[in-house]
Amino acid sequence: MHGEFITSAKVLIVDDMATNRELAKTALCSAAYQIDEAENGQEALEKIKNNHYDVVLLDVLMPDIDGLDVCKKLRQEADFALLPVIMVTSLESPDDVIRGMSAGATDYVQKPYFPAELVSRVNAAVRHKRIIDRLDDIETAFFTLARIIEAKDAHQNGPYDRLAHLSLVFAQNLKLTYQQIDALCRGSILHDIGKLGVPDHILLKSSQLNDSEWEIMKQHVIIGEQLCKPFKALQDTVEIIKYHHEAWDGSGYPEGLSGKNIPLLARIFQIVDIYDALSSKRPYKEAYSEETTINILKEESKKGLRDAKLVKEFIALLKAEPKLFQTHKEPVTLSKSCELTEKVMKLGISSWYQKIINSS
């Protein structure tokens, strides 16, 4: 198996000793590997920031910034959180291995090593990286499409990043798990992804929808569910996408669920979504005051439309920690999708659509 290589894998070898770097290069002698070198931690960080690597072979014992600190710094950056880092060191105690793995190392190779062992470990790391990259590309595409919908949807409450921030604040207060919080943040961006299947003459209509148009619009939750359901990483998010328009009394859609039959995350998100719609300025209304917003939330709770317990907790947090609800300036999720969306919107596609609809 050691003769099997991953085509075009790019590897960074980081070691302060030239002889050690040469040994690693010799082990990875196949032309399939693109080899780059760094002789200290600072140089490694700069190269990783400015290049795309599939694997980093990182020596532990280096002057100034050692391998453990390099790995810790990488894991603090979202762009490098999943970059495979293989520690290569002569340290052999279990404590040394634990420190390396705790710093965020993907794997650990002890010197002296067999060349075949190093090749096998690099190959395994590259395969894992390629799978993660493919999943990330798919997810980024979904988020980008969702943001484009946000930018052109005449009925959208948005912006999505503000919803993600508010969801994060409320979820942390409720002491939800990391998995639940992550699902809420993703759901804040993807909740209306199904509007991809809504005709533009309905999606972009500036006046009130008629009954038949409204029935078509309501299908966006089913379309969104079908788009995201195949992806395992989005399973918890799918419940938000499908059920965030259900009502506590069963008067919502698409299934008319009631009470605790509505998934918890969908109940949480709809409160955040309603708060944002009420407290923010829209083309059709000014922003409501905090007092008015709270009163409307209470009224909807009394009417049986919302989970009264969650509404009470949300209002209590709003009053106790108002600064937490201030506009969040930085995107909460997937900066790649923000960059792609900005490029697409600069083409003027959304305004072009709007002109077509207005003239029809």
How confident is the prediction along the chain (360 residues), in pLDDT tens digits per residue? 344 445 578 999 999 999 999 999 988 876 578 899 999 999 999 999 999 899 999 998 898 899 899 999 998 887 788 899 999 887 766 676 777 788 888 888 888 888 888 888 898 888 888 877 766 666 666 666 666 666 655 445 446 778 888 999 999 999 999 889 989 988 888 888 888 888 878 877 777 889 999 999 999 999 989 888 887 778 889 999 999 999 999 999 999 999 999 999 999 999 999 998 898 876 667 889 999 999 999 999 999 999 999 999 999 999 999 888 875 544 444 445 455 445 444 544 444 444 433 444
What local confidence, expressed as pLDDT, does residue 300 receive? Answer: 95
Look up residue 110 and give its two tokens.
């002890």
Cβ-contact 185, 139 below 8 angstroms: no
Rounded CA-CA distance 250/309 in Å is 17
- The dihedral through the CA atoms of 282, 286, 290, 293 has a sign that is negative
What local confidence, expressed as pLDDT, does residue 342 receive? Answer: 54
What local confidence, expressed as pLDDT, does residue 352 receive? Answer: 40
Which positions ≥6 away from 78 have C-beta within 8 Å? 335
What residue has token string 């939330």? Answer: 297
Q: What is this structure's pTM?
A: 0.61
Rounded CA-CA distance 40/135 in Å is 32
Could you give the angle at the alpha carbon of 149 between the alpha carbons of 208 and 358, nearest 5°? 45
Which amino acid does the sequence have at 241? I
What local confidence, expressed as pLDDT, does residue 6 receive? Answer: 52
Rounded CA-CA distance 333/269 in Å is 16
pLDDT digits (tens, 9 = 90+) for 115-150: 888 888 898 888 888 877 766 666 666 666 666 666
pLDDT digits (tens, 9 = 90+) for 233-291: 788 899 999 999 999 999 999 999 999 999 999 999 999 999 988 988 766 678 899 99
Rounded CA-CA distance 330/319 in Å is 24
Peptide bond before residue 63 is cis, with ω within 30 degrees of 0: no
| Cα–Cα nearest to 121, from 94, 95, 89, 84 | 84
What local confidence, expressed as pLDDT, does residue 229 receive? Answer: 86
- Enumerate the β-bridge partners of residue 34: 10
What local confidence, expressed as pLDDT, does residue 144 receive? Answer: 67
Look up residue 332 and give its two tokens.
């909460």
The phi, psi pair for 120, rounded to 5°, reads -65, -40
Rounded CA-CA distance 111/89 in Å is 6
Q: How many CA atoms lie within 13 A of 102 on its CB side?
A: 6
Could you give the angle at the alpha carbon of 141 between the alpha carbons of 139 and 145, nearest 5°? 120
Rounded CA-CA distance 208/167 in Å is 28
In this structure, are strands 33-38 and 55-59 parallel, antiparallel, or unpaired? unpaired
What local confidence, expressed as pLDDT, does residue 199 receive? Answer: 84
What stretch of H or E contains 57? strand 55-59
Look up residue 72 and give its two tokens.
């810790």
Cβ-contact 134, 332 below 8 angstroms: no
